[in-house]
C-alpha cells in the first residue's frame, strides 16, 4: 500500500511540474475579453405602432412634393473647353429651365470658358447646349438646348424682395456631380454683396453684385447655377458661391444666391441681346471705412452716404461737375482720401452707403436717364443733374 501511494505521489508531482513548465511557454498576450452580456430589453427601441402607418409629417410631404415638381427643371451642365478637336472637361454646374423654348439659367462662371456644353436632365436624357448670353457683373448666363417640348418643365419664378430672414429655403443641384441633390435650410441674411467677375473688374473698375441672399442650406461645388427655392417651390435665387476658409471648397454653412429679381431683369436682355446694359455714374469710393466711422474721425458733416474718392475722367459724374477727394487723413493708421463730395440721395431716395447706391442705380434707373443727385459739398447740400452713362464693358 505504501509502495502504491508512493507511485501516485510521484505521478502527481510529474504532472504538476509539467503544468508549471507549460505556463512559462504561454505567449505574453492579454486574456480574451469576456463575452458581452445580451442587450437588456429596456435598451431595444420601441417598435412603431401599426396605427402610425409610417405617415409623413406635413413638412416632409411638402418637401417630397416640391422635389417631384421642381427637380425635372434642374439640369446638370458639363463644361468642356479648349480646341474643338481636343476638348478637355473643365467641370460641371447646375441650371434650371425657365421656358418651353429651351432657355436655361445658370451662373456666368459655370459657362465662361465653355467650348462645348452638355446638359443632362433629371431622367438621364442628354442634349447639347449653346450659350445665348452672359453677364459677368451679375454672374448670370442663359444657355439654350434644342430639346423636345416634353423634356422641358419650366420653374416658377418668385419674388426675392418678399423673402424674410428665417424663412425656409431649399436648394436643388448637382454638388460634386451628385445629380438631383436637395438640401434644406433658412435665409440667414439679406443684402449681402459679392464681387463681380474679376476680369470685368480689371477692365472697367471694381463692381459689386448687390442684394445677395445668404443661406445655410448646404451648397457645394457643382451647385452653382442651381435654384434656391422657397417652401412652395418658387425660385427666389440662383446659388452662386460659398464661404469656406479651410481650402476644401466644401460647405461651411454660409452660401450665397443671386436674387431672382435680378434674373427677371437680366435674363430677358441676355436672350434678346446677349448682354446687359448697366447705368453708370462714374465715381469711386474707399469702402474700408463707413461714413459713420469717418464722420467721427475727420469731422464729416453727415454720417451716411458715399464719400467720392475720385470721378472717372469724362464720365457722367465728371461731366456734371462732381468732385473727388483732394486730401487725405489718417484713420486708425490708414491713409484715407477725404474732401470729396458726399452723395446722400438719388431722386429723393436716401443713399446710406456705396452698396445702396449701386442697388438703386441697377434696380431703378436706365442708361441715358437723367437723375437728380443730392450731395454735400463744403458742409452744404446741393442738387446736381447727372445723365447716366453705360458701365464700361
Would you name the residues annotated as active-site residues? 109, 139, 224
Q: Phi and psi (nearest 5°) for 181?
A: -90, 135
Taking the alpha carbons at both ends of the chain, their separation in whole angstroms is 121
Cβ contact 147:106 at 8 Å? no
The helix (H) or strand (E) run that includes residue 327 is strand 327-331
Cβ contact 286:337 at 8 Å? yes
Q: Please give the Cα distance from 194 to 262 (Å, whole number).
A: 14
Q: Please give the Cα distance from 365 to 388 (Å, whole number).
A: 8
Q: Please give the Cα distance from 257 to 93 (Å, whole number).
A: 14
Q: Please give the Cα distance from 371 to 378 (Å, whole number).
A: 22
**Cell triple for residue 66?**
416640391
Cβ contact 258:191 at 8 Å? no
H helices, E strands: number in the chain: 8, 24
Q: Which of 143, 185, 153 is nearest to 74 (CA)?
A: 153
Rg (CA), the chain: 34
Cβ contact 393:361 at 8 Å? no
Amino acid at each position: 500500500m505504501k509502495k502504491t501511494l508512493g507511485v501516485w505521489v510521484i505521478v502527481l508531482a510529474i504532472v504538476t511540474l509539467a503544468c508549471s513548465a507549460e505556463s512559462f511557454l504561454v505567449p505574453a498576450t492579454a486574456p480574451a475579453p469576456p463575452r458581452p452580456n445580451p442587450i437588456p430589453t429596456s435598451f431595444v427601441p420601441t417598435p412603431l405602432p401599426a396605427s402610425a402607418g409610417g405617415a409623413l409629417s406635413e413638412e416632409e410631404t411638402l418637401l417630397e412634393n416640391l422635389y417631384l415638381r421642381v427637380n425635372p427643371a434642374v439640369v446638370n451642365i458639363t463644361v468642356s473647353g479648349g480646341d474643338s478637336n481636343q476638348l478637355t472637361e473643365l467641370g460641371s454646374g447646375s441650371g434650371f429651365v425657365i421656358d418651353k423654348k429651351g432657355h436655361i439659367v445658370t451662373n456666368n462662371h459655370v459657362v465662361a470658358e465653355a467650348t462645348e456644353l452638355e446638359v443632362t436632365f433629371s431622367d438621364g436624357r442628354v442634349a447639347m447646349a449653346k450659350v445665348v448670353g452672359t453677364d459677368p457683373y451679375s454672374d448670370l448666363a442663359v444657355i439654350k438646348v434644342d430639346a423636345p417640348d416634353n423634356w422641358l418643365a419650366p420653374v416658377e419664378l418668385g419674388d426675392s424682395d418678399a423673402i424674410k430672414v428665417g424663412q425656409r429655403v431649399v436648394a436643388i443641384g448637382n454638388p460634386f456631380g451628385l445629380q438631383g441633390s436637395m438640401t434644406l435650410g433658412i435665409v440667414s441674411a439679406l443684402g449681402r454683396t459679392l464681387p463681380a467677375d474679376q476680369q470685368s473688374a480689371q477692365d472697367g473698375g471694381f463692381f459689386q453684385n448687390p442684394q445677395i441672399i445668404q443661406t445655410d442650406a448646404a451648397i457645394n461645388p457643382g451647385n452653382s447655377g442651381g435654384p434656391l427655392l422657397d417652401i412652395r417651390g418658387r425660385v427666389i435665387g440662383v446659388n452662386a458661391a460659398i464661404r469656406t476658409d479651410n481650402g476644401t471648397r466644401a460647405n461651411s454653412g454660409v452660401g450665397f444666391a443671386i436674387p431672382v429679381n435680378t434674373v427677371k431683369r437680366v435674363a430677358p436682355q441676355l436672350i434678346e441681346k446677349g448682354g446687359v446694359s448697366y447705368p453708370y455714374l462714374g465715381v469711386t469710393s474707399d469702402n474700408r471705412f463707413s461714413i459713420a466711422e469717418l464722420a467721427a474721425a475727420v469731422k464729416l458733416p453727415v454720417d451716411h452716404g458715399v464719400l467720392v474718392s475720385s470721378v472717372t475722367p469724362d464720365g457722367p459724374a465728371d461731366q456734371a461737375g462732381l468732385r473727388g477727394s483732394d486730401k487725405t487723413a489718417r484713420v486708425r493708421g490708414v491713409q484715407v482720401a477725404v474732401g470729396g463730395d458726399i452723395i446722400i440721395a438719388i431722386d429723393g431716395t436716401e443713399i446710406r452707403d456705396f452698396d445702396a447706391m449701386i442697388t438703386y442705380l441697377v434696380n431703378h434707373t436706365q442708361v441715358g436717364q437723367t437723375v437728380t443727385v443730392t450731395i454735400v459739398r463744403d458742409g452744404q447740400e446741393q442738387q446736381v443733374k447727372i445723365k447716366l452713362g453705360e458701365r464700361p464693358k
